[in-house]
Chains A and B, each alone.
Chain A
Amino acid sequence: MQKELISFTLNGEIIEVYADPAISLLHLLRNELGLTGTKEGCGEGECGACTVLLDGRAVNSCLVPAGKVKSRSVLTIEGLARGDQYHPLQEAFVEKGAVQCGFCTPGMIMSAYSLLQEKPDPTGHEIKTAISGNLCRCSGYKQIEEAVLDAAEKLKRKGKSS
């Protein structure tokens, strides 16, 4: 397809980019906009490495045509930190050893972020369901679950103190 003007909100800022609307949101982010935090794993919606939030809901950016995001809101892993301050989920993943090779991590964190937006106090089962579309091939999911629980706790405490 020919390039079109695609205007949407990316990590809180309205942007305009000329791009082929038939490429994936994943390639729009990585190749056209230089946001390489979002990873390409399988490229067919099976692994979750490319997870971003579209209007607040976790989606596989490899399965979303760029044309679909016109006038909508996209949040990527780059949009979580506030300046030098990492998001509690990012800190918890580091502290709990939930990162090994790190390739699945941005997608895992975006799925977890989506969960915590909806359910600030998730059960273990809810965490497992929320990350069921994200594959980690290094070892397992235990530390990842612990990191999500830890971040939920920190966010709750932060919410109470502010």
Chain B
Amino acid sequence: MSYQVVTNLEQALAALKNAAEKSRIIAGGTDLFLEKLPENLLDVSSLAEALVIEERGSNLLIGAAVTHARAAASPLLCKKARALTEACAQVGSPQVRNIGTLGGNVINAAPAADAAVALAALGAKAELLDCSGNTRIVELEELYAGFNCSAIDSCQELLLRFMVHSGGPGSGSAFTRLAARKALALPMANAAAWLRVENNCLWEVRLVVAPVKPAPTRLFKTEALLAGKPLTAESWREAAQAAMEEVEVRGSLLRCSADYRRHLVGVLVGRVLETAAGRALTGKGEA
């Protein structure tokens, strides 16, 4: 029967250990608070180690307790992880972005969570800690157990931060979505791309769309098709067609039919590829 706010990692792990799996970690709480709250809560939204945004070597470290608003406004992320800042700027509403966190966006495990889709395109890995301080590093896509169901047990493990490659020369990324309204609406579909260009051709591509599977979904076939292609409108058209053929989408009575969503995936894939390639060429939106 408690609500405990922790501010450093030592405190957080000690609290997790003391609670013996009876305390659930909460961050922004914007999703969790809509469900029945567990008896004991451990608030990690002020946890210093989970609030970092920094470049270390060739990686960006992004704390799980960073809010969407803070990520969207980060000059470092705007320069080096553009897909993520674009995604974070479109989550929910200003009020939700001011308190909802990147870690929460992933652990809530909604299939088309914007920040998670962008993180997947950027090749994010998650760093998790158990109450004894043991660390494990997991690919973002492996954090999903099913639709709206995380593979992380938040009574046992703490999601500390994400690691993302900081791109490098010739790389660019982008995110886009379509929803019925510009705010307070879940997307009918969203897409994010990271790519690297050499000699005016696509060298590496990571392309992610949602909602398709429980986790943000890589389009491996479309990615393979794009390897070595020139940066032309024809390439984006081919990719859009390939993406529409590759995805298996479901319709939703609330948002859109499966046919419309499939069409939309093609449109959004074309757009993110073109935007990311433009950024890779100009060097302005490095990764």
Contact = CB atoms under 8 A, between A and B. Distances in A.
Residue among B3, B37, B96, B182 facing the most chain A CB atoms (10 A cut-off): B3
A113 to B, nearest CB: 12
Interface string A123-140: 000000110110100000
B3 A63 contact: no
A152 interface: no
Interface stretch (B87-95, B107-115, B162-170, B224-232): B87-95
Contacts of B34: 44-45, 63
Interface in A71-96: 71
A58 B93 CA distance: 10
Contacts of B94: 58, 111, 114, 129-130, 132-133
Interface stretch (A31-39, A46-54, A97-105): A46-54
A70 B46 CA distance: 11
A67 B1 contact: no
A57 B45 CA distance: 14
Contacts of A60: 30, 93, 95-96, 99
A129 to B, nearest CB: 7
A106 interface: no
A59 interface: yes
Contact of A1 (B1, B26, B98, B184): B1
B5 A70 contact: yes
Nearest to A21: B3
A114 B99 CA distance: 14
A130 to B, nearest CB: 6
Contacts of A57: 69, 98-99
A71 B39 CA distance: 21
Contacts of B184: 46, 132-133, 135
17 contacts: A2-B1, A22-B3, A22-B41, A24-B33, A59-B95, A60-B30, A60-B93, A60-B96, A63-B96, A63-B99, A67-B43, A129-B94, A132-B182, A132-B183, A133-B92, A133-B95, A133-B184
Interface of A: 1-2, 4, 21-22, 24, 44-46, 48, 51, 54, 57-60, 63-68, 70-71, 111, 114, 129-130, 132-133, 135
